[in-house]
Amino acid sequence: MRSSSHSPTRLRGVFSPVLTPFKPDLSPSVERFVKHCHWLLGQGVGLSVFGTNSEANSLSVGEKRSLLDALLASGAAPHRLMPGTGACALTDTIELTRHAVAAGCAGVLMLPPFYYKGVSDEGLFRSFASVIDCVADERLRIYLYHIPQVSQVCISLALIERLLKAYPCAIAGVKDSSGDWSNTAAMLEAFQPAGFDVFAGSESFLLQTLRGGGAGCITATGNVNPGPIVELFRHWQDADADARQASLNATRAVFQKRPMIAAMKSTIAWQSGDAAWATLRPPLVELDAEQARQLVAELQAVGFAMPGASALSASV
């Protein structure tokens, strides 16, 4: 099905939608961003910069381009990068995708256009097809981003089938953030055998996804709990895999019952000693002092730690 001549190494493992740190004036903190990315790479986590948990849709195209350029200039390996490039506007998606491919990124994570609701599969097919045709680069590898509870626009199995038929090389896989295991299972069954790589949208489904032949997970909590998640990926066939999964679930639950982005940023502020890490860009808001205190107490109760987090503090 795939043209092997143009296939780079397929992406596998644990990726994280990298949190975007902001300065107190709400501009992106390039220094914190680059430090956090290298800390994640050091833990074995690939970088899905500009995902939902990155507040990516609160950033302009220019801000995303600048952050990616800074990350590459810092020496981050492009083959570990899967930046989010899907936007409402076709022209924005094309610009961001072209930029990522030109930079050598291994793949891109692509939301469907998400302003208009109730759009047809025909319209979504045309959107993705227009991007692929305009970027016109055989290195392009698109991971479709299915997160209907946020985007409110569904990437159906029928749409994936049609896209794979038309663009077997460019359509590389999916991040299924629906939280609906039956949907992930259907994708694994229908498309993974043909080389379409299925990533679970959180580590909650990591073990199930790997047992189903999938490629790994792209998970928000990879920002704060990368080590143990990567360990499960490396040892998923070991006897203690279910116990590892249960432990991951317990940690995740602490974050998941709160506004997750705010909770993760608050956690890094605590672990790094850099209070500015807690900043979010509107419309999202940070935890208040009491919420932050309760979060710390609960994380301590499950033995949570971020080894080396002092490296995440910024000099300014």
One residue of 16, 127, 221, 271 binding a copy of itself per CB under 8 A: 127
Residues binding a copy of itself: what is the number (CB under 8 A)?
Answer: 39
* Span 240-279, contacts to a copy of itself by CB under 8 A: none
The burial of 96, by beta-carbon neighbours within 10 Å (0-12 exposed, 13-18 middle, 19 or more buried), is given as buried
For position 23 contacting a copy of itself by CB under 8 A, the verdict is: no
CB-nearer residue toward a copy of itself: 75 or 283: 283
* Span 64-93, contacts to a copy of itself by CB under 8 A: 88-92
> From the CB of 53, what's the least distance to a copy of itself, in Å?
11
191's tokens: 């498309």
For position 120 contacting a copy of itself by CB under 8 A, the verdict is: yes
The residues, ordered by sequence, that sit 6+ positions from 134 with a Cβ below 8 Å of its Cβ are 94, 98
For position 61 contacting a copy of itself by CB under 8 A, the verdict is: yes
CA distance 190 to 184: 10
> From the CB of 114, what's the least distance to a copy of itself, in Å?
7
For position 156 contacting a copy of itself by CB under 8 A, the verdict is: no
For position 310 contacting a copy of itself by CB under 8 A, the verdict is: no
DSSP code at position 25: T
The burial of 244, by beta-carbon neighbours within 10 Å (0-12 exposed, 13-18 middle, 19 or more buried), is given as buried
Phi and psi for 28 in degrees, rounded to 5? -60, 140
For position 95 contacting a copy of itself by CB under 8 A, the verdict is: yes
The burial of 118, by beta-carbon neighbours within 10 Å (0-12 exposed, 13-18 middle, 19 or more buried), is given as exposed
DSSP string, 233-290: HHTTTSTTHHHHHHHHHHHHHHHHTS-HHHHHHHHHHHHHT-GGGG---TTS----HH
One residue of 8, 77, 122, 311 binding a copy of itself per CB under 8 A: 122
Can you give the length of the chain in residues? 316
For position 282 contacting a copy of itself by CB under 8 A, the verdict is: yes
Tokens 């469907």 locate to 112
For position 113 contacting a copy of itself by CB under 8 A, the verdict is: yes
> From the CB of 135, what's the least distance to a copy of itself, in Å?
14
For position 60 contacting a copy of itself by CB under 8 A, the verdict is: yes
Q: Which residues bind a copy of itself (CB under 8 A)?
A: 26, 52, 57-63, 88-92, 95, 112-117, 119-120, 122-124, 126-127, 130, 149-153, 281-285
